[in-house]
Every structure is written in structure tokens, then in C-alpha cells.
Amino acid sequence: MSSANTPFVTRDLAHVWHPCTQMKDHEQLPPIPVRRGRGAWLEDYAGRRYLDAVSSWWVNLFGHANPRINAAVRAQLEQLEQVILAGFTHEPVIALSEELAALAPAGLTRCFYADNGSSAVEVAVKMSFHYWRNVGRPDKRRFITLTNSYHGETLGALAVGNVELYKEIYRPLLMDVISVPSPDCYGRAAGATWAEHSRAQFAHMEAALGRHAHEAAAVIVEPLVQCAGGMRMYDPVYLSLLRAACDRHAVHLIADEIAVGFGRTGTLFACEQAAVRPDFLCLSKGLTGGYLPLSTVMTTEPIYAAFYDEYVKLNAFLHSHSFTGNPLACAAARASLAIFREDRTLERNRALAAHLGRRARELEDHPHVAEVRQCGMIVAIEMVRDQASRAPYPWQERRGLTVYRHALERGVLLRPVGNVVYFMPPYVITPEEIDLMVDVAREGIGLATCA
Ligand code: PMP
């Protein structure tokens, strides 16, 4: 059917190759050209509105076209749009680094910048490896990861992740890693608490560290929620045990908070819930309020010191990206952090999260819902073929796509991961909008599971 969207769709499909997409799907379901965004809403050229329940791939925190972030970016634009960060610096990156050092777990005082999440993971992986080489342990060069984890799409990040769908084809290109069963609580025994399950699962990690510490540079985890792996969640006790074990075995801990950072799990950083300080903290997505591409890897003075030497010793971290620490992105990040402070966002989110959890849990009785789980502002609903046995729907049936299509018709952008319908909304969402989002999800799940 023709609409004001049609000319954009035609032009798009002639030249744009979309991310994470089988382009043939667009024969059935064309991409939606977005003309503008306001708050939690997107609007297309035909005037249809979509509630952005997934924060535009988990990046947006304070709504689209947020006046305060807009003003900060505009003001920065009048001063400086971009400058090389090697040999030069600028106030936005200095101030942002100061602010992040004050907010992150104590001891993470050094910020190394990149411009997307995957690149931050590459930086952390390379830095950890390089640190061990600089301190005379070049044998420590392997990485320990969790099953079902996701850390990005570039080759190093893909290698340390474990979502088969994204990884399998490229396996011949990837470094070999040590995979350890995830503490994900979906698989816990009936009656077991999250803490009991996550604690029990730690035995696998302890064993792997015992076997591989001599050759392991770091363990990399997504703290508390494995997002791309289907919003699978685990208890903070796992992170406490992991921190202690990494210390005992002299292995770094890399916390990939690219998705869960900046309040998604209820605290500014997920690691806070276990009171742990990783050796590397990877941040992106919500770092700029979801405005502009920016990422950072935060680390400690001792790690920084291992790279600080005479140039000719070649101990420096000679890694760079053209747009490292872009001033516009740093200005957006500072404005976003100011909103957290001024609006007491984490406190306000508690009421929103309680409402979201309450409404979503109404779906627990649905015959094709195995679990409704929540961690702060993230809620996930696991659709299954059979509730009693938890037998999953085969992925080929693409049940989540039915939910996606239905939600679009009802004006909500939900983008299930496989059979998992989830909500990760911007923090400007209202209780009424949460109601709409959950009602539409319930209808979609009903449609997707009726046959
Ligand atoms: N790590 C995690 C935990 C992520 O969720 C993502 C993105 N979904 C990435 C890394 C990669 O970030 P980017 O897409 O910006 O490369």
C-alpha cells in the first residue's frame, strides 16, 4: 500500500544494506523511514507513531530529541566538532573522563576512548593481553567467556562472545576462547533461588580458572544480564565470586557494561550490585544518552602504569580510531550524566521499574510463557511451545517476528530476540506508555502462540 513512506522505502532498498537483517525479509515488511523522534516516540513520514520500547537498540536513555542534550550538542557544535585526540585534547573529553572516574567503581581512573561497543571490547581484550606481555607474562593470552554471551561483531569481540547465530559462520576467522557455562538463571532447578543457582554455576568458572589461569589474560562477562543472548539474567553473587577468583588466579576481569551500564539494571553500573571493581569496564550505548557513537574502556592506575615507559621499549598502547573521544559525543555524554544528577533518574526509575515488573508479571499465567524476569529497567518474557516442559519453539518458526509485526501495527517498537519478548525503554517513558507496551506485547504473544 502506498503512503508517504513509499518513496523513502524505494530509495532505501535501492542502496542501503541494513544491519543484522536478511534483506529479502523487506519484500514482506519494508523498513520504516523515521522522520523524527520526540521523547519515547518515533514518527514515520506517514505520520504513524511508534513507542520505542527497545530504546533504539538499547542506546537511548532520555528520549529522542531531548532538549537538554540537544542544547549541549548544539553549543559544542559551535566550538569544535572533531579533533585528533593524539597529541591534542579538548575540554569535553577531559571533563567527561573526570566525571566517569568519579562515578565508576573506585579505582577505575583511566579512560581510553573508541567510538562503538565492539571497538571498546577490542580495546579491553588487546589491553589485557598487552598488559601481561609488558609485565613479562606473554603466555597469558587466552580469554575466558560465558556461554550465551555477546560482546559485539568485530572479530575479537565476536570471538569472545558465544551467540551461535552470529558467530558460527565466522568461526574459522576467530581466536580460540575458553567457554564456561553461564550463570543464567532461566535453567535453575525448580525451587532454587537465583543466588543459589548462580553460586552453583560458579563451580565451572572456578574449575576453568584453576585449569587455565597460567595462560588466561582475562575473563569477560556482561554483568547481570546477557542481553543479546535473550535477556538472560543472573545473581550479583556470581560477580563477587568471580572478582575474588580472578584476584586469586591473577586473571583480569573485563566487565562489558555496554548494554547494562547507565542505569538499565537499577544501579548506574551493574557491577555496583556486587560491589566489585573490574579491571576493565567497557561502556558505550547509553554513555551519550544514545545520541552519538562513543565508547570508553576504563581501567586502573596499575594497569596504566604497565604501559608507561620509554617509547623505544614499545610498551605503549598504540591503538586508535579516527573519531576517538569525539567532542560532540562527549558533550552529549556530559549532558546525559547531568540529567542523571539533576533529575535523580535512578531514584525515579525505581517506581517505573516496579510498575513495569508488576504489569509484565501478569503474563506469567499465559500458557506459552515460561518466565517473566526482571533486572531493573529490563524485563523479558520467555515464549515457549510448552509451559510445563519449557520446550522452546524452533527458531525457524520466527514467533518473535509475529510479535514484532503486531506491535508495529499497534504503534509499538518491540524487537524480540528469538522467542524472548523484552522491554528496555527510555527512562522518559510514562506509566501509561508502559501499560500500552505491555498490553501490545500480550496481544502479540497471543497471536504468535495461537497455532
Ligand atoms: N557488548 C554488548 C553487551 C552489547 O550488547 C553490544 C551491542 N548490542 C556490544 C558489545 C557491541 O556494541 P556495538 O554494537 O556498539 O559495536
Taking the chain (451 residues) in consecutive chunks of 10 residues, what is each chunk's mean pLDDT?
90 98 97 98 98 98 98 98 98 98 98 98 98 98 98 98 93 98 96 98 98 98 98 98 98 99 98 98 98 98 98 95 98 99 98 98 97 98 95 95 98 97 98 98 97 82
pLDDT value of position 1: 57
| CATH number for position 232 | 3.40.640.10
Regarding the beta carbon of 227 and ligand 1, being less than 6 Å apart is answered yes
Domain that holds residue 381: 32-65+346-448
Residues 79 and 142 in one domain: yes
Q: Which of 298, 320, 343 is the last residue before a domain boundary?
A: 343
* Atom 13 of ligand 1, nearest CA residue: 117
* 403 and 366, same domain (yes or no): yes
For residue 117, report the distance from its CA to the centre of ligand 1, in Å. 5
Alpha-carbon distance of 404 to 408, in angstroms, equals 6
112 lies in the same domain as 151: yes
**Are 312 and 364 in the same domain?**
no
* CA-closest residue to ligand 1 atom 1: 151
| CB atoms near residue 193 (< 10 Å) | 12
Q: Report how far ligand 1's centroid is from the alpha carbon of 227 (Å).
A: 9
Residue 2's pLDDT is 72
Question: Both 158 and 236 in a single domain?
Answer: yes
Number of domains in the chain: 2
Rounded CA-CA distance 263/275 in Å is 15
The span from the CA of 58 to the CA of 421, in Å, is 14
* DSSP character string of 116-167: SHHHHHHHHHHHHHHHHHHTT-TT--EEEEETT----SSHHHHHT---HHHH
Distance in Å, CA 350 to ligand 1 centroid: 25
pTM greater than the 0.75 cutoff: yes
One domain, residues 278 and 194: yes
Q: Which of 309, 343, 377 corresponds to the end of one domain?
A: 343
Closest CA to 55 of 324, 400, 422: 422
Same domain, 103 and 157: yes
**Residue of minimum CA distance from atom 7 in ligand 1:** 152
Given ligand 1 and candidates 256, 284, 415, which is best to mutate, with the most ligand atoms within 8 Å of its CB? 284
Clarify whether residues 330 and 394 are in a common domain.
no
CA-proximal residue: ligand 1, atom 2 (nearest): 151
Q: Is residue 228 in contact with ligand 1, taking CB distance under 6 Å? A: yes
Which residues, 6 or more positions from 102, have their beta carbon under 8 angstroms from its beta carbon? none
Is the Cβ atom of 161 under 6 angstroms away from ligand 1?
no
Residue 360 confidence (pLDDT):
98
One domain for residues 142 and 207: yes
Residues 288 and 305 in one domain: yes
> Does 162 sit in the ligand 1 pocket, CB within 6 Å?
no
C-alpha 412: how far from chain center: 21
281 and 181 both lie in a single domain: yes
